[in-house]
Amino acid sequence: MTSNEIRRSFLEFFQKNGHRVVPSAPLVPGDDPTLLFTNAGMNQFKDLFLGREKRDYTRATTSQKVMRVSGKHNDLDNVGPSLRHHTFFEMLGNFSFGDYFKAEAIEFAWTMLTEVWKMPADRLVVSVFKGEHGIPRDTEAYDIWRKFVPAERIMELGSEDNFWQMGDTGPCGRCSEIYYVRGTGMDPEIEVWNNVFMEFERSADGTLAPLPAPSIDTGMGLERITAVLQRKDSNYDTDLFMPLLTRIGELAGATYGANPQTDISMRVVADHARATTFLIADGVIPSNEWRGYVLRKIMRRAMRHGKMLGLGEPFLHEMVAVLAREMGDAYPELRTNRD
């Protein structure tokens, strides 16, 4: 399956199961001063979780443009050496706003992975919250998972892994992750799905208050699931990155995969070219402050690594054509805002 087919099949599965397909929100959050950039699929639904807003649907599914370059979720320094981290990525998600809860969310995830995408069930390992910091063990999630997986494939982990929040404040809850055991490469186990059981709002003093209704927020990186489904050990070996890496190679006279040091620079350029293109398409302009400063930092980093690859002339703009061609169907702004 191509990444475009994987994205489409996810949205179609949830649409068939009563979810509204909602377009990705821009990378610049509308009216949330707590966020530098959209950092999760749930951001655009924050007020629905908090009960401050109602819409004409209680189930939604999205493929959300996400940046993780600051605050609670920051992967900037991993980009280059890592084969699974990105500054910009696409997060697939299904959401329930006081509609279904743990039992349905777990069953949806399991059906999507094992029946729609036909992943081998015996290669999937899951985790539940073990109980920590006064928040009890997630016995309910554990019991639901036992219907699908044997006890030895259910890990019990603490807040670091199994309690999710978008920032220091806001909706949050215990979560349950699904890992694929590929057994090879730099990441022999890779997290592919995060089911967040939204139950609390954290306030600035750290206290947790119950949400008006238990809700579901899931997140899965399209880049990781594409790597697994395309049987690659690295996100960068998928059709989401190879066209960029090939173009960088053409410009620099290099071949991706031939030299570990060069590969790091090629991955940085590919990742940062995506971030740059999607940010500018959403109206961010490089500058000396706030969001524009982060964009400028990312662009300068890409240019530095380009220089290390021997690229003496401006090259970053060359990546836009590749992205408009490969991703413009899913994100038309890449074409309309190309200039």
Q: Contact positions toward ligand GLY, by CB under 6 A?
A: 40-42, 164, 194, 196, 217, 219
**C-beta of 91: minimal distance to ligand GLY in Å?**
6
Cβ nearer to ligand GLY, comparing 22 with 42: 42
Question: One-letter amino acid identity for 257?
Answer: G
User: Nearest distance from residue 164's CB to ligand GLY, in Å?
Assistant: 5
The CB-of-316 to ligand GLY minimum distance in angstroms stands at 28
For tokens 């890592």, what's the residue?
Answer: 82
DSSP 229-251: HTT-SSGGGSTTTHHHHHHHHHH
Task: Identify which of residues 40 and 211 has a Cβ nearer to ligand GLY in the complex.
Answer: 40
Smallest separation, CB 96 to ligand GLY (Å): 13
- Residue among 170 and 306 whose Cβ is closer to ligand GLY: 170
Question: Among all residues, whose Cβ is closest to ligand GLY?
Answer: 219
Q: How far apart are CA 247 and CA 204, in angstroms?
A: 46
Name which of 41 and 80 has its Cβ closer to ligand GLY: 41
How far apart are CB 222 and ligand GLY at their closest, in Å? 13
Question: If DSSP codes are grouped into helix, strand and coil, which group holds residue 135?
Answer: strand
Q: Which is nearer to ligand GLY, 158 or 283 (CB)?
A: 158
Q: Which of 91, 92, 93, 94 is nearest to 75 (CA)?
A: 91
Shortest distance in whole angstroms from residue 105 CB to ligand GLY: 12
Measured at the CA of 338, the angle between CA 332 and CA 339, to 5 degrees, comes to 150
Q: Which of residues 167 and 306 has its CB atom nearest to ligand GLY in the complex? A: 167
Select 26 or 219, whichever has its Cβ closest to ligand GLY.
219
Backbone torsion region of residue 59, taken as left when φ is above 0, otherwise alpha when ψ lies between -120 and 50, otherwise beta:
beta
Minimum CB separation of residue 217 from ligand GLY in Å reads: 5
CA distance 201 to 207: 8
What is the C-alpha to C-alpha distance for residues 213 and 13, in angstroms, rounded to an integer?
25
- State which residue, 94 or 238, has the beta carbon closest to ligand GLY: 94
**Strand blocks (E) in the chain:** 20-21, 59-67, 69-70, 73-74, 88-96, 124-129, 154-157, 163-165, 170-181, 189-202, 208-221
Helices (H), 60-208: 102-111, 139-145, 159-162
Distance, in Å, from the CA atom of 32 to the CA atom of 228, rounded to the nearest integer, reads 34
**CA atoms of 298 and 296, how far apart (whole Å):** 5
- Nearest approach in angstroms of CB 228 to ligand GLY is 16
Strands 73-74 and 69-70: antiparallel
